[in-house]
Structure 1
Amino acid sequence: MATSAGSGVEVRSLEAKKGKGLYAKTHFKKEETILTEAPLVCAQFSWNELYKYEACEFCLRSLETAEEMSRRLTNNPSLVLPHPECCEVDSSVHTCCPHCQVKYCREACRVAAWDRYHRVLCMGASRDDSKHPLAMLQEAWRNIHYPPETASIMLLAKMVAMVRQNPDPSAVLQKFSQFVQTTVNENEQIAHKLLGKEFQTQLELLQGLAREALYHDDVQQWFTPEGFRSIFALIGTNGQGIGSSSISTWVKNCEKLSQGEKEKEEMDKFIDEMYEELDKEAGAFLNCDGSGLFELQSTCNHSCTPNAEINFLHGDHTLTLMALKDIEPDEEICISYLDECSLERSRHSRQNILRENYLFNCSCQLCLEQADEPDETSEEEMSEGDEEDEEEG
């Protein structure tokens, strides 16, 4: 069965996989945009917010200028970036909720947040009160989910608020019901890594705090023990990472400048040295990171040799799906659920990550071709290689 998803793609039910897949309806050339999509809901990671990465509460657009962000992340308050005109942050249009002072990049985002979920979640003058139920929920989440984060408990909070604020709660519930909510894959005997017995106490704590902060009759099924595990698995397995950075936008715009060869060399050197300092001080945490639930992206299946990739080219939560190679009509569009480093690891390592986080064993062409490889993680392979080197020495 196919479901129309736009002029170039369609969602099809896959009986063999008991799921869905995104398929091309037309030819896409390499590097061509397949689709762009805004999320149903998104939220900044709790640790990211705690570490003062200022982002729009609605669309995650960075609220710091590139210079402000680079000064903070390099711990160099005197750093001056050339070509400030390449920074797209316009603080003159920033605004905030008049009740709780949560920040937005523009009035349209503030209104959209208020209309969709923020009326329920607005903490008013209690925003800085650590004993507020929502504050306690986020603190508990941070205590069990240290960086690098892969999900946000505020996704659940916003989902509940969206149901409560909508005149037709069932319509919103229907939207969320399309996402995978399975806590275990019974066929493969796989359970999500955050739902194991070792996390039982923490899950019960989160469930109790979430119930106190968010409970409503329209979503009572989400607050039973099994319902909470299911919704927890939903945000864990379906949440797509989102990254926005005023620095990366500034760099991208600088690269477009019309410059002489010497100027370009000097600019490239400055950017390289700045990134070295950023890496030294901030490591991988360079973006206003968060996660979101995307209707079409969530139907893209994984492949260890994907034909498409996800980018965030607009400086906010807007997702762009781009072709990595030519894609023919009726060909399935697949992305990688793994980052670039993880894709380079052994088949056994890749399978372990996918089983723990996404509850399936990968059967892509690459994994089938490597099926006869030994069941060793990349670390075990490296360890054995080191031992052999020592013996040879």
Structure 2
Amino acid sequence: MAKTSEALDVLAAEDMKAERFSDAISKYTELLEKVPGESVRWFCARGNGHLKKGSATEALEDGKKAKRLDETSVEACILCGRASSQLGFFVESLDYYKEGLKIDPKRKAITEDLKKLQKIILQDQEKQTTKEDSSYSAVTLCSQSIYPGDDQLLTMEKEILEVKYKILDDPAYSLQTPPKKRDAQLEGQLVQAAYEFFTAERLEEALELMSKLITLDPRNLFYRTFRAQIYFNMSQWPKVIQDYWVIPKAQRKAEIWKQGGKAFVELWLPVLAEFWLRKATQLSGGKDEEAAMLFQKVRVRRLYEPLTEDQPVQVDFTQFGRAVFAKEDIPAGETVMMDIPMVIAQSLSTRHIPACANCATSLISPEIYFEKKLNLMGKEQQELIEDHWPKVSEIWCEHCGKERYCSNICKNEAWEVYHRVICPRFNPGADTLYAVIEQGGFGYTADGKWDEVWKGHFSPMILVKIWANIASQVRTMMENDGVKEPTVEHWARAKAPYRRFIAFGTMPAMQRMPHALPMFQAAFADCGGGLSYKITEDEFNGRYYQAACNLQSFSCSITPYHHFMNNIKDDLRGIGVLKHLSDRPPEAQFAALCPLHACSNHSCLNNAEVCDLDINGRPGVQMIARRDIKKGEEIFITYIDTSMPKTLRKAWLFKSFNFWCQCKRCQFEGDTPSECTHCLKKAPEDKKFAACGKCKRAWYCGAACQKASWKNGHKIVCQTPHSQAVFDT
């Protein structure tokens, strides 16, 4: 058998050399069936055959199979990188190459592939740059739809108007009161005088005249609007609202709705403010950008103020969307913010490392950390580990045995929040879902073919938990209301928290992984309690890109290993264990949707960085100030490897996040030695301008441009250290 396999292996290699790729693939398939011992090498060989044949999907599948069998296989990393690049999955391709470089930093094939990937990323970059952000509008991307529960809040705010501010439809103040006998000439003179007082900022005198005019004609729209403007300039917000309130809605122009909305913001009656600003936007046909921007500022404050109440930051809405700002000075090294994930899921690549499915707490044992070295230790060392390694309890769902938790508290919490909806014991439709996760994204499709069902770079459990959480909340509301069918209000309330997360993508998720949607639909066809959650293609696409645009990776910062090291510091037996310690414990990597983190924008000159953190005994994330941050300054993190050259950074950001970076570093670093970074003058043919002597990332046509650029901002950029890039500059 061995001789036959060796001969077949030689023949397959000859087929590859002769470019008979179909024949080679057939032979490697036969080898994989006969002799699984060499499967890593043969999966890679067959995958390269698929790649040469132009079947990148099959090549990526073989590469992933090889990686699952041997995580240290550089050949598998290269195959996955090449296949991902051909499929247009550039971020995933770069990740595979980075993984390969960690295993073998000197592998020439990877560095050459990275150069090719760089060229692909930069293709058509100049053409795209000419329309940088020309079509982007943060305001138009954000909805002004009514939030669930706003009807009750609107009623409450109207009661506040009536009780606290005495604003109501008083018949004596109503526009229905017949006007008194009028003197048109006198009224004209009073209006002119009031206008002169107003422009001279003699507001009390202008107010007195306009109030007199309104007593003469309470129904006059111009008089009401003029007096409201005077009250507005005097910051008498209830008076502004009172004058606008009595004007019938049909007669309120867009400007009235907008100014009234501003007054409601000052009184912080946010639902009324949104209502009035929404009307202003609608009446202007969406052309009043100020009203639309104010609406989003109110909405963001409503959503995020409760989350930042005890933190030194606040969330605001800018021309680029939501952003985080410092409420006070934050010194370098201090915590900028802490964020507790709304949804977490363990990565498929680390699913073999035990951790709590509900809170991400590490559950590694001595057997997992020390591996084979544990059996080679002496009795004293083993007793030390037995005495000081924390007792880790793995508590599994007693119904399905598919999910592992760190405690009964987490198990019960997970059950109420999401697991009761997707537990396979009560929901057989979820069986396939858990099988695909256990198999690293692979499974059988509806037509019985073994394929990669899930192709996302995060676990499908992220989407599953979002949907399961929504369904679980709807079930609870149905039970509380004593109804058998969910209402539109039930669904809206349950989905509301996830409206915080933007979603943008160019390729429909269904196109990328057509077999995933039927799996999700089967898992949520029966959510228990007579509830069915119909996952549509639009829903799948939207949730997928919510995750893709907002996820943050993290891991448990304090593991049983860390407790063990702390426990043995005073035990002399610990000296004998030191030689068996690895650099770091195996980490169960998680992805998380964090509401505050998702509002943080990118800068290649970031002033904060994201770190893992233990928050109230549970893993979470925090941001740490990289330098002193002043009050009012925006908090920036990085979305990509910022050690790359400017042109490549901008191209990666555009391909990955659909925006062109305009941060200070991108403004004061150059694109190429053939163009002056400051004045954009082109160098003579076959010539290069002199580079900045310190950073080598900016080029100038002369000393004058270099000095001007240094003064304007290059000084800050130049003095900021950056790590070595994966790509050569």
Which band: TM-score by shorter chain? 0.7 to 0.9
Deviation at 1:320, TM superposition (A): 1.9
Residue from 405, 409, 424 that aligns with 1:104: 405
Residue from 303, 309, 334 that aligns with 1:6: 309
**Higher normalized contact order (CA 8 Å, seq sep 6+, divided by chain length):** 1
For residues 149-173 of structure 1, the C-alpha deviation after alignment (integer angstroms, 9 at most, x for no partner) is 7411111111111111112442331
Deviation at 1:89, TM superposition (A): 4.3
Letter of the 2:545 counterpart: A
Structure 2 unaligned regions, length at least 5: 1-296, 443-451, 478-489, 675-724
Contact 1:58–1:109, Cα closer than 8 Å, also in 2 = yes
| Residue in 2 that maps onto 1:175 | 497
Residue from 571, 583, 592 that aligns with 1:275: 583
Contact 2:388–2:567, Cα closer than 8 Å, also in 1 = no
Whether 2:617 is the aligned partner of 1:345: answer: no
Letter of the 1:325 counterpart: R
Contact 1:61–1:105, Cα closer than 8 Å, also in 2 = yes
Q: Distance in 2 between matches of 1:13 and 1:227?
A: 26
Deviation at 1:247, TM superposition (A): 5.9
Contact 1:70–1:247, Cα closer than 8 Å, also in 2 = no
Contact 1:29–1:326, Cα closer than 8 Å, also in 2 = yes
More helix as a share of residues: 2
Contact 1:163–1:218, Cα closer than 8 Å, also in 2 = no
For residues 76-116 of structure 1, the C-alpha deviation after alignment (integer angstroms, 9 at most, x for no partner) is 44366897599774325x42222123221112211211110
For residues 198-235 of structure 1, the C-alpha deviation after alignment (integer angstroms, 9 at most, x for no partner) is x8654221112211222478754xx3333322211111
Residue from 527, 536, 546 that aligns with 1:224: 536
Deviation at 1:48, TM superposition (A): 1.9
Deviation at 1:29, TM superposition (A): 1.5
Letter of the 1:209 counterpart: M
Contact 2:362–2:559, Cα closer than 8 Å, also in 1 = no
Deviates further, 242-251 or 105-114: 242-251
| Residue in 2 that maps onto 1:95 | 395
| Residue in 2 that maps onto 1:78 | 375
Q: Distance in 1 between matches of 2:564 and 2:670?
A: 41
Whether 2:549 is the aligned partner of 1:241: answer: no
Residue from 334, 341, 346 that aligns with 2:636: 334
Whether 2:441 is the aligned partner of 1:141: answer: yes
Whether 2:55 is the aligned partner of 1:55: answer: no
Contact 2:325–2:635, Cα closer than 8 Å, also in 1 = yes
SS at match of 2:360: coil
Contact 1:144–1:202, Cα closer than 8 Å, also in 2 = no
Deviation at 1:177, TM superposition (A): 1.2
**Alignment CA distance shift 1:125-1:20 (3 Å):** closer
Letter of the 1:361 counterpart: W
Deviation at 1:324, TM superposition (A): 1.6
**Alignment CA distance shift 1:46-1:62 (3 Å):** same
Residues 166-315 of structure 1: pairs in structure 2 closer than 5 A? 166=473, 167=477, 168-183=490-505, 191=506, 195=507, 201-215=511-525, 220=534, 223-244=535-556, 250=562, 254=566, 257=569, 270=579, 274-275=582-583, 286-314=586-614
Contact 1:136–1:209, Cα closer than 8 Å, also in 2 = no
Deviation at 1:135, TM superposition (A): 3.0
SS at match of 2:411: helix
**Alignment CA distance shift 1:12-1:111 (3 Å):** same
**Alignment CA distance shift 1:144-1:351 (3 Å):** farther
Contact 1:44–1:290, Cα closer than 8 Å, also in 2 = yes
Letter of the 1:108 counterpart: I
More strand as a share of residues: 1
Q: Distance in 2 between matches of 1:256 and 1:336?
A: 38
SS at match of 1:354: helix
SS at match of 1:124: coil
SS at match of 1:160: helix
**Alignment CA distance shift 1:255-1:23 (3 Å):** farther
Contact 2:348–2:440, Cα closer than 8 Å, also in 1 = no
CA RMSD of aligned residues (A): 3.9
| Residue in 2 that maps onto 1:355 | 654
| Residue in 1 that maps onto 2:469 | 162
**Alignment CA distance shift 1:349-1:79 (3 Å):** farther
**Alignment CA distance shift 1:218-1:296 (3 Å):** farther
Q: Distance in 1 between matches of 2:578 and 2:642?
A: 30
SS at match of 2:515: helix
Q: Distance in 1 between matches of 2:498 and 2:619?
A: 18
* Count of matched residue positions in the alignment of Structure 1 and Structure 2: 341
Residue from 647, 665, 668 that aligns with 1:366: 665
**Alignment CA distance shift 1:79-1:33 (3 Å):** farther
Q: Distance in 2 between matches of 1:103 and 1:326?
A: 42
Whether 2:357 is the aligned partner of 1:35: answer: no
SS at match of 2:619: coil
Q: Distance in 1 between matches of 2:344 and 2:314?
A: 23
Q: Distance in 2 between matches of 1:268 and 1:352?
A: 49
**Alignment CA distance shift 1:152-1:374 (3 Å):** farther
Deviates further, 105-114 or 345-354: 345-354
Deviation at 1:309, TM superposition (A): 1.5
Letter of the 1:123 counterpart: P
Percent identity between matched residues is 22
Q: Distance in 1 between matches of 2:631 and 2:376?
A: 50
**Alignment CA distance shift 1:156-1:255 (3 Å):** same
**Alignment CA distance shift 1:256-1:90 (3 Å):** closer
TM-score by length of 1: 0.73
SS at match of 1:368: helix
For residues 291-326 of structure 1, the C-alpha deviation after alignment (integer angstroms, 9 at most, x for no partner) is 111011110111222211221132853112222211
Deviates further, 117-126 or 246-255: 246-255
Structure 1 unaligned regions, length at least 5: 184-190, 279-285, 383-393
**Alignment CA distance shift 1:113-1:365 (3 Å):** same
Q: Distance in 1 between matches of 2:536 and 2:610?
A: 34
Contact 1:64–1:246, Cα closer than 8 Å, also in 2 = no
SS at match of 2:634: coil
